[in-house]
Structure 1
């Protein structure tokens, strides 16, 4: 499978399994404020607030949030709280290479 197809597959998985509740729980686990997550992810505080309130955000925004939290060793599975998984860092592709990266909210 070509690299871009793999990236797209991983991105779709993350977009469908990383939830607003995961984001809030992960911030709590790490002791991160909205400002800290914003700084780490490049996503604005209002966009994080919208996402955690279950309002729509762009896919690239969701990926940036998941990527920054996963870089801290967290893993996300549907129906479960975030967990620690030291061997899975980098599963979510860095959204910086996406064509729509400049559209992060």
Structure 2
């Protein structure tokens, strides 16, 4: 079991790696609307819209979004579009899954 300090560090890493552009791209990859993401992540639509518009939202909302996408097998790295984790069937991953973010 990870310590509280370790959990805090992991949350900081997740917040750093997950950007508004990632959120938009991840929704597109999954075919989710803002409303569906709101239901899936239990985050208000307004918070998602603010985040995607690069406005401030609570860290808890950002983490809920990132963790919900990660539960769908997506991974996030600064400067890159979301990718599929290796636990997802390898044949479903293509070149577009690893493209650089504009």
Superposed pair shares fold, TM > 0.5: yes
- TM-score using structure 1 length: 0.79
Deviation readout 1:10-47 (Å, 9 max, x if unpaired): 10001111000000000000000011100000101111
Aligned to 1:60: 60
Larger relative contact order (C-alpha < 8 A, sep ≥ 6)? 1
Aligned to 1:12: 12
Query: How far apart, CA to CA, are the structure 1 residues paired with 2:33 and 2:79?
Result: 23
Q: Whose Rg is larger?
A: 2
CA RMSD, 1 decimal: 1.6
Give 1:87 shift.
Answer: 3.8
Query: How far apart, CA to CA, are the structure 2 residues paired with 1:57 and 1:86?
Result: 30
Runs of 4+ in 1 over 2 A off after TM superposition: none
Aligned to 1:78: 78
Aligned to 2:38: 38
- TM-score using structure 2 length: 0.81
The 3-state SS of whatever aligns with 2:21 is helix
The gaps in structure 1 that reach 5 residues or longer are 89-105
Query: How far apart, CA to CA, are the structure 2 residues paired with 1:33 and 1:56?
Result: 20
Give 1:86 shift.
Answer: 4.1
